[in-house]
Chain A
Amino acid sequence: MDIIYSLIPPGILSQIFVGLSRTTILFIVASGLSLILGVLRIPNVAHGSLYMIGAFTAFTVTKIFGEGQAAFWMALIIAPLFVALISLIAERGMFQFLYEREHLMLLLLTFAFSLVFGDLVKLVWGGEYKSVPVPAIFQGFVPLFGGLPFPIYNIFLLVAGPVVAVLLWLLTNKTKIGKIARAAAVDREMVGAVGINVSWVFAIVFVIGCLLAGLGGVLVAPTVSVTLGMDHNLIIEAFLIVIMGGLGNIWGAMLGALIFGITQSLGILVWPQFGIVFPYLAVVVVLLFRPTGLLKSTW
C-alpha cells in the first residue's frame, strides 16, 4: 500500500474513488440509455427526466416512511418501479407507434417528453431544493487510504455499479428475453417473422432501461440536493458515455463511464476551473480515433 501512496498521495486517491462512486451512478443511467438505444434505436432524451423523477420519488417515499431504516430500501424498490410504470405508459401510448420514424423525430419526441416531465415534476414537487437523508447504516466514514475518512455510502455505490452490470449482462446474455432483444436489435423483421411479438419485447426492454434511470435517481438522491434541472447535464453526460463505449454495449457503457469519471476527477485536481472540460475532451479524442465507440456496438 505504501508504494501506491508514494506514487499517488492518499488524498488524491480518496478523491478519485469518490469520483468513481459518482461514476457508478452515471454508469447505471447510461447503461439503461444504451440498452434502449441499442435495441429500440431511440435516442431517449427523456431518460434524464426519468432519473430526476426517480430522485424526487425517493424523496417522497423516504418522507412517508420517516427517518427509519426501511425508508431508503423502500425508496430503492418503489421509485424505480414508479418510473418503470410511467415509461410503460409512455411506450404503449406513444413510442410504439413511431419506431419506423427517423432518429431526429424520435429525438425530438423524447425531448418533448422531457419538457413535459420536467414541468410535471415542478407541478408536483415544486421548485425548491430537496434533500434525501443518507440511510442510517451507510452514515459516517471509515478510515481508508492512509487513514483518511471515506464516506460509507460511496463504498455502497462502488459495489452497486458492478452488481447492476453483472445483472444486466445476465439478463441480456442468459435469459430468453435478452436473447430475443439482442436478435431484434440486429434484425427486428426477422424476429417478428419467426413468430415473436417484437412490440412487447421492445416494451419490456424500454421499461427495463427506464427502470435503470429511476434506480440511478434513487442512488444519487442522498449525495446531491434533488432539484429541477438535475436532468439537463446528466443526460448529455450519459449520451456521451454511451457513444464513447459503443451503442448498446453494456461493458462499453461501463468503460465509457470510467473514462468519464476518472478524467473528470483528475481534471478537477489538475485545473479546478476547467475540470468539467476534460471529460468532454476525452470523448472527442476517443471518437476521433474510434468513430463508433471503444467496444463493438449493436448496430
Chain B
Amino acid sequence: MRKNTLLFLIAGIILLLLFPVFLPRFYVYLLSIILLYGLLATSLNIVLGYGGIFQFHHAVFYGVGAYGTALMLTKTAMPAILAFIVGPLVASALGFILGIICIRLSKLYFGMLQISLGSLVWAIVYRWYSFTGGDDGIHGIPIPEMLSSYIGAYYYTLIITAVCIFLIFKIINSPFGSALQGIRDNPVRSEMIGINVKRHQILALTIAGFFAGVAGSLFVVVDNTVFPDMLFWTLSLEILIMCLLGGWFSFMGPMLGAGVIVALRTFVSTYTVYWALVLGVLMIFVIFFLPNGILGYFEERFKKVFMGSEIKE
C-alpha cells in the first residue's frame, strides 16, 4: 500500500514536471492557478480540518501576502527574493495578531469577529489609494527575469507548492499536529492533560496565515497583479467550499477541491456567465450527498470494502 502511494507520488511529480513541455500556455497558467489555490485551501485546512477552528476569513491572509510581495516589488529596490519572504511573513504576523484577538471567542463568534477584522483590512486596502492602489489594485508588477515567463512561473509555483505541502504534511504529523487534532476533538480534556490550548491554536493560525501568504506571493508571480477582491469575504467562502468539496478530513482533499473548482470555473465560464449558479447547485449537492467531500467519500467506500473482505475471511 505504502509502496503504491510512493509510486503514485513519483508518477504525479514527473507528470507535473513534464506538463509545460506539451501543454499550451493557457493550460500551464491554469495549472499554476490550481496549484496555488490548492496550497491556499490546504493552509486553511490546517486550522479548519485539523484545528477545528472556524476560520471564516482566510482570504485576508492570502491577499495580504500578495499585497506585501507586490508592494515590496514595486515600491522598494530590495532584492526580489526578499519580497517573496516578506509577503508571507506579514501574512503570518497578521494571522498571529488576529489569532490573539479572536481566540477567546468560541466557534461562530470567532468566525464572525474574524470576518469583521478581515473586512477592516479589506476596507483599508480598498480605500488607501496612494499606497495600495485602491480598488484598481496594482498591475504590471516587476517580476524577476527568471520567473517572468509562464513556464518559469509554473515551475516556481510547482516547487514552492510542493515544498509547502510537504512542510504542512510534516507539521500535521508532528507532535504539534497531534496536539492540535486532540484540541479539535476535545478541548477540555486536552487542557487537562497539560496542553496549552490557546497557544497551540494561535500558533496554528500563524502557520496557516504564513502558507496562505505564500500562496498570495505565488499569485503575484503567476498573474503579475493584485486587487482588493483577493481579500473579500466571498473568496474566503469559496476557499471553504474547496475544502468541503475535496473533503476536509483528508490531507489532499482541499487540493483536489481547489483543482475541481478552478478547472470547472474556467471551463464553465467559457460557455456561460452563470458560473455562480453552477457552483451553488454543485455546493448544495455536495452538502446533501457528500458531507465528507469527494476524497472523504472514497476513503469511506474503500474502508468499507476493505473491512467487508476482512469480515468474510
Interface residues of A (CB under 8 A from B): 43, 45, 94, 97-98, 101, 103-105, 107-109, 111-116, 118-120, 122-123, 232, 236, 239-240, 243, 273-274, 276-277, 280-281, 283-284, 287-288, 291-292
- B65-73, B107-115, B166-174, B195-203 - the one binding chain A: B107-115
Given contacts A116-B276, A119-B277, A236-B233, A108 and B105 within 8 Å (CB-CB)? no
Q: Are A239 and B287 in contact (CB under 8 A)?
A: no
Q: Are B113 and A113 in contact (CB under 8 A)?
A: no
Q: Are A108 and B280 in contact (CB under 8 A)?
A: no
Q: What residues of A have a CB within 8 angstroms of the CB of B107 in the complex?
A: 103
Shortest beta-carbon contacts, A-B, top 10: A112-B283, A115-B280, A119-B277, A116-B280, A280-B120, A115-B276, A112-B280, A243-B112, A283-B116, A119-B276
- Tell which of A111, A119, A280, A288 touches B274, judged by Cβ atoms closer than 8 Å: A119
Q: Are B113 and A98 in contact (CB under 8 A)?
A: no
A43–B173 CA distance with the chains assembled, in angstroms: 33
The proximity string for B residues 275-313 relative to A, scoring 1 for CB distances below 8 Å and 0 otherwise, is 111011101100110010000000000000000000000
Q: Are A239 and B112 in contact (CB under 8 A)?
A: yes
Task: Summarize A's interface: helix, strand, loop or mixed.
Answer: helix
Closest beta carbon of chain B to A96's beta carbon, Å? 12
Q: What residues of A have a CB within 8 angstroms of the CB of B129 in the complex?
A: 273
The proximity string for B residues 107-132 relative to A, scoring 1 for CB distances below 8 Å and 0 otherwise, is 11101110111011001101111000
Task: Summarize B's interface: helix, strand, loop or mixed.
Answer: helix
Whether B261 sits at the interface, judged by CB under 8 Å, is no
Which A residue's beta carbon lies closest to that of B57?
A236
Closest beta carbon of chain B to A248's beta carbon, Å? 12
Given contacts A103-B107, A116-B276, A280 and B119 within 8 Å (CB-CB)? yes
Given contacts A43-B108, A103-B108, A240-B112, A122 and B284 within 8 Å (CB-CB)? no
Chain B residues 93 to 150 lying within 8 A of chain A, measured CB to CB, are 101, 104-105, 107-109, 111-113, 115-117, 119-120, 123-124, 126-129
Whether B31 sits at the interface, judged by CB under 8 Å, is no
A56–B227 CA distance with the chains assembled, in angstroms: 29
Q: Are A104 and B240 in contact (CB under 8 A)?
A: yes
Q: Are A287 and B116 in contact (CB under 8 A)?
A: yes
Task: With a 10 A CB-CB cut-off, give which of A109, A280, A283, A284 has the most chain B CB atoms.
Answer: A280
Given contacts A116-B276, A119-B274, A276 and B237 within 8 Å (CB-CB)? no
Known: A113-B284, A280-B123, A284-B116. 11 other contacts (CB 8 A): A108-B287, A112-B281, A115-B279, A116-B276, A118-B276, A119-B276, A120-B277, A280-B116, A284-B120, A287-B109, A292-B109
Closest beta carbon of chain B to A185's beta carbon, Å? 15
Q: Are A291 and B115 in contact (CB under 8 A)?
A: no
A299–B185 CA distance with the chains assembled, in angstroms: 22
